Structure 1
């Protein structure tokens, strides 16, 4: 008999800010040295924590930024370490804060939508950028 494990619940944000450039906005990506990957800020939910509260907490922990969450974005479902994982995402505008490197996240970069799409390690993360732009009513950069 196969035991089906419930998915690991996680949440994150596609963090963005307005800039005076051709694109008009930039997206924050974080580098995790443990995996040597570039991704959107995200993480596992704490027991009893709502997905939205967890997403905002993870943004603060990984980027040092306060944010204003907005539209929900597509949920990513995949297998990580042999277990199903479900990550709920929101668009979130960066308000204030400063990045401080840690053992979990050693770098953060603000990139144009096109550059962010190229930098992201996982295809599932790249798909969130056009979803963000559509949610904001922004032209695809």
Structure 2
């Protein structure tokens, strides 16, 4: 196995939330990536020497158009992409405003109540992150 195959892909992202428009509870931002036809939390690869927190904020801005304030540190998720390990550091993040512009990478953004977001998420690992944010928001 080459060194490149053993070295994990490092990435970061957020479970982005905002107070619900209804005034009750929160809404979760999910992005649709046409390349994979999936719904997920905004995330992406870290640039060389980029701190994980900076990457998480940058990816949220690039994929959702939203500025955000990082909150609680969530889990680091581990999985494999094309035989190479990947590690994604996550934070809960409150949306501070912005405008979504569709791109080739992310063509849709939706804000959903947590229960609906949980059903829409493609990967089970993303549901665990959502659950952590919902649990923390009830405290």
TM-score w.r.t. the length of structure 2 is 0.93
1:64 aligned partner: 65
1:28-47 Cα offsets, whole Å, 9 max, x none, are: 00000000000000000000
Instruction: Tell me which moved more, 68-77 or 126-135.
Output: 126-135
Rounded to whole Å, the distance in 2 between the matches of 1:55 and 1:100 is 18
Rounded to whole Å, the distance in 2 between the matches of 1:126 and 1:92 is 16
Rounded to whole Å, the distance in 1 between the matches of 2:84 and 2:60 is 24
Rounded to whole Å, the distance in 2 between the matches of 1:127 and 1:51 is 20
Within-5 A mapping of 1:37-116: 37-116=38-117
Rounded to whole Å, the distance in 2 between the matches of 1:130 and 1:20 is 20
Runs of at least 4 residues off by over 6 Å: none
Q: Describe the SS at the equivalent of 1:12.
A: strand
Rounded to whole Å, the distance in 2 between the matches of 1:8 and 1:76 is 12
Deviation at 1:3, TM superposition (A): 4.7
Rounded to whole Å, the distance in 2 between the matches of 1:10 and 1:42 is 7
Deviation at 1:134, TM superposition (A): 2.5
TM-score w.r.t. the length of structure 1 is 0.92
Equivalences, count: 137
Deviation at 1:130, TM superposition (A): 1.2
Root-mean-square deviation (Å): 1.4
Is this contact kept in 2: 1:23–1:112, CA < 8 A?
no
Is this contact kept in 2: 1:55–1:89, CA < 8 A?
yes
